[in-house]
Chains A and B, each alone.
Chain A
Amino acid sequence: MNLFWKARKMEALIGKTCMSKQVNFQFLKPGFNTLVVDNRTQGYQKFGVPIGGAMDSVAAEKANWLVGNKSEESLLEITLSGPQIIFKEKSQIALTGADISPEINEKKVEMYETIMVSKGELLTFGKILNGCRAYLSVRGQWIDKNGIKEEGSLLNRLNRIKIKPIQPLTSIRKGERPKIKYNPLVVNVLKGPEYDILPPETINTLFLSKFTLLPDSNRMGYRLIPSLSPIKKSIISSGVVPGTLQITEDGFPILLMKDAPVTGGYTRALNVLSKDLSKLGQLKPGDSLRFVLAGTSRID
């Protein structure tokens, strides 16, 4: 889905950084799925561009705060297995979200606080201890603002990232580390636009079952089991948002995430409340969740 943007973005990064001396860090290994993300909304959704952005936006914002960057600054989203990164300049960095046993020059580093990194130091990751996605922020202004979708680029070995330095923070910041071990995750939802056409047994299953993420769950959406009764009715393609739970005609529930298409034709059964959306970003295939109806469908 996002390969198009990924390809464009990689060209942009490589093109620009090779010409420049100010390379801040370089990848020795890319990791399983390491992306540049940000929390900007650029309003291209009417052209069919997915919303994108950090899956756990709360952790991403925290990482930027820890290094004194603006909350919408770019940063890395690291999924399940970490990259190896060599720092080419003295930097201030921070790690939040999933604990993937980060080390600098083979020494364990703390998450949720500002870390000083010297020139030439190597950041590596190990075993994943909790969650699914970690965020790595680096103080400064990330270059390459021209892309329509600055975020979403899958990183490759030998990619380098250039960051315009700004005055370093004079003191270390620390943040409270949220608990991200939950099984199942309880997710508050509102009724979706087509909730009223759902048969009673589907509604029962939705709120009484524990749903588990199937292996092909990703940034586009989480495929869940158990499946529900088939729904013969489809709708005329209409808008969806991250957190929309769709039920396909065959009865498969799909929970849409940040890289989902912006429109869809399946029944929109539920919508996750915005406060719970970022927690979903820490689920990995095999993890489970439960839906709880949050009051009425009116909102505060």
Chain B
Amino acid sequence: MNVKFQTLGDEALLINFEQKIDEQINGQVHLLTQGLEEKRIAGVKYLTPAYCSLVIAFDKKQISFEQLVSLTNSLLDTSNVSTFQLRKLYIPVCYDRLFALDMQEVVSQTKLTASEIVKAHTAHPFKTYMIGFLPGFPYLGKLPKELECVRKANPRLKIPKGAVGLAGLQTGIYPQESPGGWQIIGNTPVDLVGQDGNNSFLFKVGDEISFYSISKSKYESILEGQKNGSFNWKNVYE
């Protein structure tokens, strides 16, 4: 496989795959990430997989740049890396005007109606290409071409927790209140972080996410269900 190794300082290695947003290339990134994790290499501090690159941060007292390059090459060469586990998740989104803060702007950019936008957003599952920006923030793609829209010229100072947004050919969810420039078209009541009382994250890279539209009252009941523990998390996974 054709990858390029670069240094990111003296304690991190950058592995660049072909530089484009592509499901297959992203799949290779995640296969390699998983392969490296399974090896539990002493001296590897953390991994940061992205669309078409992977950063390996390491402790140079324990392992060298060259050792990591050769380990990575051997993983890339062998086909016996365990197959990537595909998970499918189903995320309820309320696209009500109350939550769809930028629907008007998206309507004018895409020339679609609000209901066509919702239909296009819920029609096909999206792939989790990477997680970043905020803890648990998933970068999902690719959007169908007709939903493509540019980020807000002036980012909002406050985007509410659970907001579902569009940017370019990507869609994502804000796991917590934050400033941000994505075009907001709805909100999910489902917690992306710490949902089972622990510090777990709902999404993993590689997950396939399908959105479905819910009413305001369903939104409220899911919110309430998570608070009192009656929400059935199985609904998200099947």
Contact = CB atoms under 8 A, between A and B. Distances in A.
A244 interface: yes
A204 B37 CA distance: 41
Nearest to A272: B9
A216 to B, nearest CB: 13
Interface stretch (B51-59, B73-81, B221-229, B230-238): B51-59
Interface string A1-40: 1011100100000000000000000000000000000000
B199 interface: yes
Contacts of B132: 48, 237, 261-263
Among B52, B131, B135, the most chain A Cβ lie within 10 Å of the Cβ of: B135
Interface stretch (B41-49, B104-112, B118-126, B142-150): B41-49
A147 B132 CA distance: 20
Among A47, A50, A241, the most chain B Cβ lie within 10 Å of the Cβ of: A47
Interface string B120-158: 000000000011111111010000000000000000000
A192 B8 contact: yes
B52 A236 contact: yes
Given A238-B53, A239-B14, A263-B50, A46 B33 contact: yes
A207 interface: no
What is the size category of the interface that chain A forms with chain B? 35 or more
Contacts of A4: 134-135, 175-176, 193
A271 B55 CA distance: 14
B218 interface: no
Contacts of A297: 6-7
Given A261-B132, A299-B10, A300-B10, 11 more contacts: A1-B178, A3-B176, A5-B135, A46-B131, A48-B134, A147-B199, A193-B16, A236-B19, A236-B21, A241-B9, A297-B6
Interface of A: 1, 3-5, 8, 41, 43-51, 146-149, 190-193, 235-241, 243-244, 261-263, 268, 271-274, 297-300
| Top 7 A-B residue pairs of the complex, sorted by shortest distance between their CB atoms | A239-B55, A148-B199, A271-B9, A263-B132, A239-B48, A45-B46, A238-B53
Interface of B: 6-12, 14, 16, 19-21, 33, 45-55, 57, 60, 64-65, 130-137, 139, 175-176, 178, 193-194, 199, 201, 205
